[in-house]
Amino acid sequence: MKNGNLEHLVNTALGIIKKDPRHVYNFGGFGGFAADMSDSTLALLRTMPGVEYIEQDAIVKANLGEVQHLEKKAYVTQSSSTWGLARISHVSRGSTSYTYDDSAGANTCSYVIDTGIYTAHTEFGGRATFLANFAGDGSNTDGNGHGTHVAGTIGSNTYGVAKKTKLYAIKVLDASGSGTNSGVIAGMNYSTAVNSAAANVVNAGVFLAVAAGNEAVDAANSSPASEPTVYTVGATDSTDKLASFSNYGTIVDILAPGVSILSTWLNGGTNTISGTSMATPHVTGLAAYILGFEGKRTPAALSSRLTTLSTKNKITGLPSSTKNYLAFNGNPSG
């Protein structure tokens, strides 16, 4: 709904449909709701002057140059790390160790909008909390594994980029990995509508990294990847090639490891899976790492910092329209 008295507009519309809404949104200038309604009610609501757009809910699924450095402080090395962690801490591929500053994302929070997190996993060391469930399944845990894997890459003890960040689960996808656009939007509150919600999260001061998608097409037609204010992530493999499944294009801001990524899984286990959803938590973790290392900054400034730090012109197989930027943590020893 358009800016103005959003609460009044939403309440007026809800009075017309005479049904309880599934979700109500009112944040950062983005107001609206998700509800079932008849065709006649839909037509009536579209004539209201305060209504900007109405769209049908949809099912969403989990998608399986000069080198810049950070100031040298208390760097430590994790031997025999995952290839993804090793890659983002070295300018050239081939290393098997992850080098990072011991601040490791301390005093930061990372929100995982996904299938939930198996918070009891010992790899999280008590830093993972289940925050909210918008999947509609009544289960306040991860029944799929995808969200737990993502959280592990962001901040687990062994597989994580930012090993001291606090992890919060906002569940919008069920055990099958499915959910709705309305659930995703509700998750962002604690297509056009998804992009609007994403933009308002960023405008509220939250850095938002999103997966480019796994269809091997231009990401310009994917939501929320196509929203300009979010930080969109494509995937690479261990040979420094664009992953065969990764979406691409001008809308992709950065690339990160996303093929055969080992991370946490359900019931205290681990799993190796691939996808731009595996690349994105490398960048989310890196964002938390930089915030813990350098201090608070706006989403735009953090995006710019990630881009500046990135390793340039190392990835092959890229369409000419795609930026050749690979995520890098600024390790001074390169």
Active site residues: 114, 146, 277
Nearest-5° Cα angle at 142, 139 to 143: 80
Mapped onto helix, strand or coil, the DSSP state of residue 204 is coil
DSSP 4-40: SSHHHHHHHHHHHHTS--SEEEEETTEEEEE----HH
Rounded CA separation 211/326 (Å): 15
Q: Which two tokens stand for residue 27?
A: 């944040």
Name residue 234's beta-bridge partners: 255
DSSP 57-69: --EEE----PPP-
To which residue do tokens 């995006």 refer?
303
**DSSP H or E segment with residue 178:** strand 178-180
Cis peptide before 224 (omega within 30 of 0): yes
Half-sphere exposure of 18 (CA within 13 A, CB side): 3
Nearest to 139 by CA among 266, 264, 34: 266
Strands 128-133 and 166-171: parallel
